[in-house]
A and B are shown apart, each in its own frame.
Chain A
């Protein structure tokens, strides 16, 4: 596998929602690349478009949402017909067989709430085996064997017992493990994780994060990790994209993003997180105001009404581009007029 070739490449994605009150530009020009075996974190506050980006990739947008523009190029794996071929997911029918093959087979997904993934009326084993039957057709192994093996992998001490349990019989952390098993049963090369630990307690979160890292090393998959928690980003990510109001405002490798942030939004966000060590906690600097109403997006840079470095005449007129155009080591790419 060529590690320089992105598995998934998003180009200028625009996903808009057309509802009675008007049009919401939930994702408005996002470009991202996902490389084999790496973790890309998409981080931002509620309403920034991080989840809609994920739903656009998987083509599971709510009915009002539409991809208006852009490409999502996915490199197909060897096992599929047309090995190594690149398909544009935007061109596929969301309900078609090709897309269904990709969902679960090429791209696995886990969410914040496992109960939304599992049906309450079938056993865990039954449901994961169904996914195995769909996506592991080439294997000559009984789906049951595959499922028991995967359940053991994600940390169930007694896979046999878990096989016949119903989702409600598991605790939150265990349900999350079962969901990971279901997502990975098709051996996807990309796992999209949308806030997978947000609803969990901190010690359970630590268990799940460690499990995900271990499975990533074992299966060599790429992870797109969507979260609002900068701590989780620092622990999990290789690459980070920070989103604000449908745009990526800063992008780079995790160390540079945390230690040499350039965009005023990211700088402010980092200053507004309370630190764990009381000795480091001097004062919080909240970001003034709030995320604007999606129907009345500010002109120019979407962050300008809250920005401490607002430059009248520039920031409120022109939309800044993500610069430098090509990533450089030790420097993030930021969409801010300060750097143009």
Chain B
């Protein structure tokens, strides 16, 4: 390896290359495989230490499957998930022994969307937040003290330790989930729609907490979400997914100000903004998201794209560089002048 790779090694924590995750469609008594759902089919991501990468897209685009793959939840169909583990160095999560996975799991944690479903109602807060500690051999009063610290870190009182999840509101439960994710002092945390289920005022509290914790511990977040305004607020970089593929990725400011993919443009224009004087002329996409089990030819977005030409129907575009840190999967990226989110005209 060259010197350049070593220098990179310090800043990059996760590098996903051409990740593919296909699920079989099985039919009949013999469960014969009759087709494949290409849930993830070409995802490239790069995550730098201390940064937040947003992974956005609509339901079924494969963003959650991608995050599960990164945590080693599936046996992936293809591609690499390289993780810079502080103890093991660069490892491929797609191809790990049990012991190695144990170490990676300490350093890559997850915060889930549903603050109701993700906490066991029959465990106390101490058991929930302390479970990862127990697994890693921290017991008794040491564990209790550590849980107390974690709770105060996320803005909950240590006295709440012996209570059960039902005694907490949605926002407080999300704080418990965050405390659990941070119990082992991970390097990277995957936040899977962490604020989608919360009211706006509570959502802002949790977003601020996540930012605060990031500053304090130098955490790296992979922020999976569909709320583009939340992503705009919290992410340094954004990757947009459509039917299993990353179609565009760029630094947040650039992506929002000057999107290069027609899907990103449509997505941004669709978001209703909380200002009656600044409503975008929304681009209403015709039709529905393509079926990942039966994708269209060429560019997956072409049936709904208002700029599509013959080439888009025939050839599948590659993800290619389009300016500093900007990548786009579109044949026409260089020719199109797409609309971003502009500041309101005073």
Residue numbers of A with Cβ under 8 A of B are: 45-46, 171, 173-174, 201-207, 209-210, 228-237, 254-255, 258-259, 268-270, 272-281, 283-287, 290-291
Contact = CB atoms under 8 A, between A and B. Distances in A.
Nearest to B207: A284
Contact of B200 (A202, A206, A269): A269
Contacts of B121: none
B341 A277 contact: yes
B256 A290 contact: no
Given A269-B201, A278-B256, 7 more contacts: A45-B199, A46-B199, A234-B274, A258-B277, A275-B229, A286-B208, A287-B204
A229 B201 contact: no
Interface in B122-155: none
Interface in B239-284: 252-253, 256-257, 266-277, 279, 282, 284
Nearest to A236: B272
Contact of A207 (B273, B275, B285): B285
28 contacts: A202-B271, A203-B58, A203-B284, A206-B272, A206-B284, A231-B273, A231-B274, A237-B276, A259-B276, A269-B201, A272-B203, A273-B200, A276-B229, A276-B256, A276-B268, A277-B256, A277-B342, A277-B343, A278-B253, A279-B343, A280-B343, A281-B233, A283-B208, A285-B204, A286-B202, A286-B204, A286-B205, A290-B202
Nearest to B209: A286
A231 B233 contact: no
B279 to A, nearest CB: 6
B267 A203 contact: yes
A278 B232 CA distance: 5
Tell me what chain A mostly uses at the interface: helix, strand, loop, or mixed. helix
B284 A272 contact: no
Interface string B175-216: 000000000000000000000000111111101100000000
Contact of B284 (A210, A234, A284): A210
A258 B276 contact: yes
B270 A281 contact: no
Given A274-B207, A290-B202, A232 B272 contact: yes
A272 B204 contact: yes
B279 A274 contact: no
A228 B227 CA distance: 14
A184 B299 CA distance: 38
A277 B268 CA distance: 10
Contacts of B22: none
Interface string B210-232: 00000000000000001111101
Contacts of A207: 284-285
Nearest to A274: B233
Contacts of A233: 274
A169 to B, nearest CB: 13
A206 B285 CA distance: 9
A58 B288 CA distance: 33
B272 to A, nearest CB: 3
Most buried by A among B228, B271, B275: B275
B200 A272 contact: yes
Contacts, number: 142
Contacts of B79: none
Nearest to A259: B277
A215 to B, nearest CB: 15
A138 to B, nearest CB: 35
B50 interface: no
Which 6 pairs from chain A and chain B are nearest by CB? A231-B272, A286-B204, A274-B233, A201-B58, A272-B204, A206-B270
A201 B201 CA distance: 22
B204 A234 contact: no
Contacts of B343: 277, 279-280
A202 B202 CA distance: 21
Contact of A276 (B203, B232, B266, B277): B232
A210 B207 contact: no
A269 B288 CA distance: 33
A205 B342 CA distance: 21
A43 B205 CA distance: 20
B59 interface: yes
A255 to B, nearest CB: 5
Contact of A254 (B58, B232, B270, B276): B276
B298 interface: no
Contacts of A229: 272
B11 interface: no
B103 interface: no
A202 B275 contact: no
A280 B256 CA distance: 12
Contacts of A234: 272-276, 279
A235 B288 contact: no
Contacts of A274: 204, 207, 227, 229-230, 232-234
A203 B240 CA distance: 14
Contacts of A206: 269-270, 272, 282, 284-285
B171 interface: yes
Contacts of A205: 270, 272
Contact of B171 (A258, A270, A281, A290): A290
B267 A202 contact: yes
A16 B256 CA distance: 46
A79 B133 CA distance: 70
Nearest to A235: B272
Contacts of A283: 208
Given A255-B277, A272-B200, A202 B229 contact: no
A307 to B, nearest CB: 12
